[in-house]
Amino acid sequence: MLKKFSHFFEKPAEVDLSFNPYVTQISGHTLQVMQASDSNISDLLKLEEKVYSGRTPWSSFSFASELRKWHNSVYLVIYEGSQLVGFVGGRFIPCEGHITNIAVDPAYQNQGIGTYLMKLMIDMARRNGANQVTLEVRVDNEKAQMLYRNLGFVDGFVRVGYYREDHVDGLEMILYLKGKKK
């Protein structure tokens, strides 16, 4: 039992989460890609409201907490001008990446932005020697599941009642970067 929790007492493993901001073109949009900071939290919440029909699954406290975990957590944002059009967050250890959150403004969906964000996180996981990237997705979110499957993710197990606000099950999905573990 103690071995199971030993990671709480150890120094976090080193991962390279450095990210240099840049400008890119996606589907005719000129977009600024950068690492999120506390100054982006209000925009993150507004985007969540758009994506989740007025709800904000993550609170400002949740985002602030994730942004402070600089040793193993990174959030990337994409802006067109002053408008946040998408974001993605992840946690990393040397052997694994985990996507914690991704959202794209409904007006910008189906234009490759979600795929672009996912590929940024997958590349970060590869850069850190990860064997796999994992995430959870609502079992009723077929659109997101299709995006993840198109990137090579496969179904894992179902987490019953995973989403607290409405008790919908969560499907774990896994992208094996170095072959499936036995």
Active-site amino acid positions: 136, 148
**Euclidean distance between CA atoms 66 and 88, whole angstroms:** 12
φ/ψ of residue 98, rounded to 5? -135, 120
What residues contact residue 173 under an 8 Å CB cut-off, 6+ apart?
A: 134, 135, 136, 137, 145, 148, 149, 153, 154, 155, 156
- Helices 113-127 and 142-150 cross at an angle (nearest 10°) of 50
Residue type at position 120: L
Count of other CB atoms within 10 angstroms of residue 23? 10
**Euclidean distance between CA atoms 122 and 120, whole angstroms:** 6
Question: What percent helix, strand, coil does the chain show, rounded to 5?
Answer: 30, 35, 30
Count of other CB atoms within 10 angstroms of residue 93? 17
